[in-house]
Every structure is written in structure tokens, then in C-alpha cells.
Structure 1
């Protein structure tokens, strides 16, 4: 197919058979898989293209709560998710002496917001989502080289010499999105790209992450506790914080964050990685090996004990960039997840917000008329961003606040003091800024939400699936 940007024809829907737009999703991460699941359930044709040949079980713990519970219920995976997760009732903040400074409690969320929060390892949630996608709809080893779009469709070309064409292109391919880069390159040439979107992703931290093999309860008694023990440690005289969390698999997911100074930023500037991957980790392991952790037993364990029980290929060092881009779409191309808003993973909101994007975008795509033209598609993308941008801004603020809280600056110490002395009622008010956002797919039976605090209004929930007209002379859908 030759893509012609100048094509602006209008379809005559009275003589054309009903056709849903075909969606090409680049990136098989949390957001891309969630969108694929929803499009599959909506009966909208889609294909997912992932540049790596196979998914490696990298990444530490992920936290999902009431903001995604309704989506999981609609997709029929909530029970399985709860079974693989471990209930979390608090985030504990400790000092280097292993003493509890304060905790942020989540008890009662099931009643207040309709669902509780759970810790699950990233490989587990990824596998759960991947199993919901028809195998023939996902293609690995597809690295995007170029993309074109216009009035008559989208076309992407891959490094293996193959091509794919469709009606909509979704960039769900992470912080260093090839789709975003290709889109921005064209917009920049046309003087349509905001200057801030052309700047490199900023970063102020680097992180070492890992997850252990299954451990015995004798070694780590905290694993036997019903609730996940999510503990953040604040360094006394070092530019580090670190955390551990226990999972239902009797593993410990762990991470250690280095807060960069002007000098250490230069040292790490050469290290940039667009994927959770191996490498560049050994030196940092040596730096952090003596940091204390809490195991629940009498033995005073350190991060070295976790490193020793973590397979080498499951330890990786990553940059923790933060940025909300201004440009999320153009013509037939749209971005979701880290491709348009990158949060520091320490805040724990990246995965859930990628899912929220997928829900709203799926609702908007499902509401498109049959044979949508480029203007209709772009209007749907505009509505998607308008619905999401406020919540993304709040998530970004919350993420930054959490990162500040575990840091070493004066602001960090002030933030910890405020949280330590904050009344529970004030904490509840802060929570509502994010936990009232519980989006659902408009084209699936709604999940019952019994939270005493009702969900915030969701504009895309009112969108209806288009109904094909019938030509009375042929009795065929048009």
C-alpha cells in the first residue's frame, strides 16, 4: 500500500460493508498487551509487534490496586490475579538500623474503593496478560525501521524486510519508543513539534533491580506472613534508598535507587537503556552489597544475601527517566504508556497508568464509525488525551512526591516528617486523588463497584459500539 498524506476522501457508508479499523500495536509491554486484550474482546482486528525475540522475566515487583481491579474483573482475570498476588496493607519506611520510621497504610481500601492492592512480580502479570492474546496476533522479532501514515492508512516497515499495514498505529513501545521517534521526526520537519518534546528524557536516578529464586521460610520468615512486606529503607549518609517486597511465590523482589548528583549524573550519562535488561550491574552490586534488609529472622541480612540468591540474568541496571510529553497523537498514530508519559518506577504507577490508557483508547477506538477516515480517528485520539491527561498529571505528581520522599534532599526530609505526622484523615484525602480513578471498558459488562467512595466520572464510558445499517435490497450490513 502506498500511503498518501494528501488523501482526504470520505467513505460512502451506505454502499460499503461494515468494517472495523485494523489496529497495529508496536510494543508487547503491559500497555500494548492490555490494549490487545480489549480490542480482541471488542471484535476489532489488531496485531501486536514486539522487537525482541522472546520476553525475559526481568523487573521487580509491581503494585496493582483498586484502579485496575474493575478492568481485571471485566477481562475475567481478577481471580487469577488475586491468586498470584500478595495482599499489601502498608508501605513501611525504615532507617538503616532496621527501625520503622513510619508506614503508609492501605487497610480498608476494599470497603472504601471496592478493591485491595496486591504485589505481584512483573513476570507473573506479564504472563497473565500474554495468555489472553491469541497467539497468531502477536509477532516477536519485529523491530520498526520506518512508519508512514496518511488519509488512506498506516504502513510500518521492519528490519527483517517485512511490512504491516492498517488503519491505526499505536506506539506502546516504551520510553524510547520507535513509533514516537518516527512520529516526532516528521512533526519536527513540519515545525509542528513543541520544543520540549524534542528534548532528551531527563533522569535523576539509576536503579538496580532483581528478584530472587524461591526462598525458604526458615531463611526468611517474613515470607510466611499473609501480607506482603513492602519495606523502603532510607540511607543515613548515602545517596541511596532501597526496598524489598515479598511475593506469593516466596520470592523477594528488590531494588536499590541511586540519587544522582551533578557529578554522578555525568558518570551515568553514558548509560542509557531503553529496556529492562542485563548489563552494567556488577559495579553497583558491589557498592550496595552491605545495605541492611529485614528478613523477619534473627540473622542480620543484607542486600548481598539477596544478590546471592538472584540469578545473574535477573539483575539489571536501568535509568529511571521522568517526563510527560505534550504530543500524544497525530493523524492515525497514537501513543500510550511510557511512550507518552514516563514515570519513575519507584512511584509504582507506570503499569497501572499504561492500563488506564489502554482502557480509554479502546473505548474511543470501539466508538469509531465503520470505515473511519483520518479526521475521525484523530478526533478520537484528541478525546483520549483529554480524558487521560489530568489523571496522568496527578499520577506524575504522586510519583515525584514518592521519589522525593525516599530521597536525601532537604525536601525529602521535610516530606518524610510531614507523612510521619500526617493524620489518617488527611492521608485518605490524598489517596482519593488517584483511587477514585477506576476506569472500565464501555463495551464489556460493567464490573460491580461497591466502594463507598464512588468512581470519578469517566467520559468514554458512555461511548456506544457502532451499529451497522442494513441495505434493504441485499439484507447485508453496510
Structure 2
């Protein structure tokens, strides 16, 4: 197959059969599925290519806030999302003596201000909800990407099983160690077009143990009786750890344990860098932290529960050890390839913004893809990708800084103590301003009916909300060939 012959040709849309660009999405994670869900509501053809052979219900809880719910309403999944999630209005910062240091909470009704409040949902439940919005025939499992190729005529993905996929646009939504990004950056590096910082390995300062228990009774964990999610973030004085517990709608308890790495312990964990999420690496870490105290909301014995009690109640295959890389890449796209979510920005989970920003990426990128004309040429596709990055980058940088603030709050040393002091003593008006900055970006899908919920805090201006498709009458362009890519 020849992706792009080195020729120049007339691109006359008045004589071409109307053809919407076909989108290949590599990665069936939350971001990839959200993009698929949105494209499913258009006339744009797409395919999702996933490396895994099956979906594993790994991970703990995900906080979905008001910045995502307008799009959920547009896609018709908000009511079901509410039914399988739990309202989250406070975060309790606690100590190893099970005392509450301070509480982070809304000062005003978030539904009135922003349309909805924040909710806690388990990753498996959110994944299943999004997965059901995409027809099964659109998702191709067990497809490990070996190579990607692009040029003026299209894109080609080759997989380890010998299968190939052709399209017009390639979206890399395949995580922090994205195969799409690696292929893209390899070519850019050969062409001396890759920024030096993008060629560096992903930095990491933490590792994390995540999981959730089986469904429990209130006798086993009293806080499960409470209607809202009970979120405790416990800070250790003498050990390089912080840990969180959250109650869910399914009467499970999610847990997340963060280990802050030193130079030496970073070396110990470096071999784990490229491994997949899974239970194999979790056992050793769980043994190190099982004596850490937690708050269950009960009295006497209930208050004396430890992380080990939760580990013993958790299916081992659902526990995993993960890397906490942190980086915002400079290069998000080139030619017909574009990156989404962790593939282009990896945020520390302390700020709870990683999944949210992947969903935001999908919304904005879908808007710009939908706005493309029929038979888009490479220059038009690149212009759409540039608009996507230009719109998203300031919000991603802000989320990155916020995640750094929350990471500093649970970290060790003087900076952490100062951050906790500031958060503990932050005036209500100042916290409201901080919250407004986090929640002002509430993107919507321009080609679906708008969510017109009345709010007192209007959302920030969203360029892609006005990206509509250009009229196609007698447009005739000369399509200059991008660097030729001959694929044999």
C-alpha cells in the first residue's frame, strides 16, 4: 500500500463523492471510548483498536465533576451515571491517629453554581457505561500496534497479528507509554522536528497501589451507610506514604496508597516502568503498608481498621501497582496523527484530574474532527489538530499545576507543610476562586443539543463550541503532498 505518492493533485470537492474522514482510535480506555461514543452520534466512520484481549476491572474510584457532566447529558448517559455513582462534597484530611486535620468542602451549592456537583464512580463502572455506548463491532481487541504510517493520502496501522487498518486520521489514546506516540516521535526525531524535552523518558516520583473491596455491609464498614461518598486522605508523619479511602455506590471501599520515592527507591522501581497494570506487582507493596490505620466511621473496633483489613476483603486480581508519571508533552500532533489523554499529558492522580482531562480532550477533538469538510487534506487536518491543542493546552497546564498542589499537600518536607497550612487556613472566598478556576472549563459537543442548565457561574469561552463545518460549494484546492510515506 502507498500512503502518499509524492505528487501534487487538484482537490476539487465539487466533483468528489462526499466522504467523511475515517478515524482510527488506538486505545479503548476512558478517553478512546468517550471519543468513540461521541463519533457514534455522527456520520464519521471510526474503529477502536485495543491491545488488551479483555477488559480487566482494575483501578479504584474516579471523581467526575461538573466539567464533564454537560457532555454526559448531551450524550444521554447522565441519569445512568448518577444512578451508579455517589455524591462527593467533602474531602477529609486525616492523620495516623485517625483524627481530622481539616476538611476541603464546597462553601456554596455546586449544583446552583456549576450545574452539578462532583460524584465518585468506580473505574470499572464508568468504563462499562462508556463501553456500552459503542457498538461491539467498532472495537477490535488483542491488537498490539507494531507500526503506524501517515502521509497526504491517509494513515495505516499494522498490528502484531498481521492485521492492518486504514483511515484518514489516527488518534493515539493508548496511555502513558503510547505506541502511537512512540512511532510518531521516532519519525519526528529522525526529521529533527522533535523538541528535546519530548525525547526524554517520562519522569516519576511516586508509585501507587490501587484497588477496591468486594461489596461490604455497614457492620463491616459503617461509613457505607452514609448517602454521600466518604473520602479520607491520610497523611503520614514518619513514612514516605499517603493513603486514601472512598466509599462507593456498590458498597465497596476503594483505596489508593501513594509511595513517595527517593533517588534510591526510584531506581528500585525503574524496572517496573513499562509493566502493565496488574496484581503481580501489588503483593509486596501491600505487605509493607497493611498496618496503616484507616477511618471506617464506626466505633470501637471499627475505628481500628487498617489497610490490611481492606486488602483482605479485596479480590487480589483487582489490585494493582501503577506508576505516577507526570509530564505535559509539547508535541500533540503531526500530519494526520493526534494524541489524547495520558498519551500527551500525564497528571499526578493526587489532583483527581487525569480521567477528566482525557474526557475533555475527547470532547474538544470530536468537535474539530466533526468540523472538517468532506475529503479533508492534510493541511486542514493539521489545522484542526492545532486548534485542538491550542484550546486544550492552557487547561491541561492548569490541571497539571493543580495536581502538583495536591501532590505537595500529601508529600513530605517543608513545601508539604506549607501547602497544608495554606489549604487549612484558606478563606472561603479564596477557596471559591480556586474552585472557579478548576470548574470554569465545562466543554460541550457543538453538534448535539446544548445542556442549558441554569447556573450562576457561566462556563469559560469554548472555541470548539463554534467550530461548525464550513460550507462546501465550489471549493477547489491544491493539495501539496506531505513527506512521502511508501508502505510496502
Normalising by the smaller structure, the TM-score range is over 0.9
Q: Which of 389, 396, 403 is the matching residue for 2:393?
A: 389
Contact 2:13 2:472 in 1 (8 A): no
What SS does structure 2 have at the residue aligned with 1:258?
A: strand
Runs of 4+ in 1 over 3 A off after TM superposition: 5-10, 465-470
Match of 2:413 in 1: 409
After TM superposition, list the pairs within 5 Å mapping 1:112-127 onto structure 2: 112-127=113-128
Match of 1:25 in 2: 25
Match of 2:479 in 1: none
After TM superposition, list the pairs within 5 Å mapping 1:398-477 onto structure 2: 398-466=402-470
TM-score normalised according to structure 1 size: 0.97
Q: Distance in 2 between matches of 1:228 and 1:8?
A: 60
What SS does structure 2 have at the residue aligned with 1:80?
A: helix
Match of 1:290 in 2: 291
Q: Deviations over 1:403-454 (max 9, x none)?
A: 1111112101110011111111100101111201000000000011322010
List alignment gaps of at least 5 residues for structure 2. 475-488
Displacement of 1:320 in angstroms is: 0.4
After TM superposition, list the pairs within 5 Å mapping 1:344-359 onto structure 2: 344-359=348-363
After TM superposition, list the pairs within 5 Å mapping 1:196-207 onto structure 2: 196-207=197-208
Match of 1:77 in 2: 77
Displacement of 1:463 in angstroms is: 1.5
Q: Distance in 2 between matches of 1:440 and 1:10?
A: 36
Match of 2:52 in 1: 52
Displacement of 1:282 in angstroms is: 1.3
In structure 2, the CA distance between the partners of 1:266 and 1:149, relative to structure 1 (3 Å rule), is: same
After TM superposition, list the pairs within 5 Å mapping 1:202-281 onto structure 2: 202-273=203-274, 275-281=276-282
Q: Deviations over 1:449-478 (max 9, x none)?
A: 3220100000010121355659xxxxxxxx
In structure 2, the CA distance between the partners of 1:418 and 1:466, relative to structure 1 (3 Å rule), is: same
Contact 1:219 1:297 in 2 (8 A): no
Q: Distance in 1 between matches of 2:10 and 2:171?
A: 23
Q: Distance in 2 between matches of 1:445 and 1:433?
A: 26
Match of 2:318 in 1: 314
In structure 2, the CA distance between the partners of 1:305 and 1:8, relative to structure 1 (3 Å rule), is: farther
Q: Distance in 2 between matches of 1:251 and 1:12?
A: 58
Q: Deviations over 1:139-172 (max 9, x none)?
A: 1001100111000000010000010000000000
Q: Distance in 2 between matches of 1:466 and 1:18?
A: 14
In structure 2, the CA distance between the partners of 1:408 and 1:180, relative to structure 1 (3 Å rule), is: same
Q: Distance in 2 between matches of 1:174 and 1:160?
A: 21
Asked if residue 326 in structure 1 is aligned to residue 330 in structure 2, the reply is yes
Match of 1:476 in 2: none
Match of 1:194 in 2: 195
**RMSD between aligned residues:** 1.3
Contact 1:10 1:373 in 2 (8 A): no
Q: Which of 344, 347, 352 is the matching residue for 1:340?
A: 344
Contact 2:245 2:253 in 1 (8 A): yes
What SS does structure 2 have at the residue aligned with 1:204?
A: strand
Which stretch shows the higher mean deviation, 408-417 or 275-284?
A: 275-284
What SS does structure 1 have at the residue aligned with 2:67?
A: helix
Q: Distance in 1 between matches of 2:453 and 2:417?
A: 38
Q: Distance in 2 between matches of 1:246 and 1:124?
A: 14
What SS does structure 2 have at the residue aligned with 1:185?
A: helix
Contact 1:203 1:320 in 2 (8 A): yes
Q: Distance in 1 between matches of 2:447 and 2:23?
A: 17
Aligned residues: 471
Contact 1:273 1:318 in 2 (8 A): no
Q: Deviations over 1:243-300 (max 9, x none)?
A: 0000000000001100011121111111114543221111111110100001111211
Displacement of 1:345 in angstroms is: 1.7
Match of 2:171 in 1: 170
List alignment gaps of at least 5 residues for structure 1. 471-478
Q: Distance in 2 between matches of 1:379 and 1:110?
A: 36
TM-score normalised according to structure 2 size: 0.95
Q: Distance in 1 between matches of 2:321 and 2:10?
A: 50
Q: Deviations over 1:61-116 (max 9, x none)?
A: 00001000101000000000011000001111000001000111035111111111
Q: Distance in 1 between matches of 2:371 and 2:365?
A: 10
Displacement of 1:7 in angstroms is: 4.6
Contact 2:28 2:50 in 1 (8 A): yes
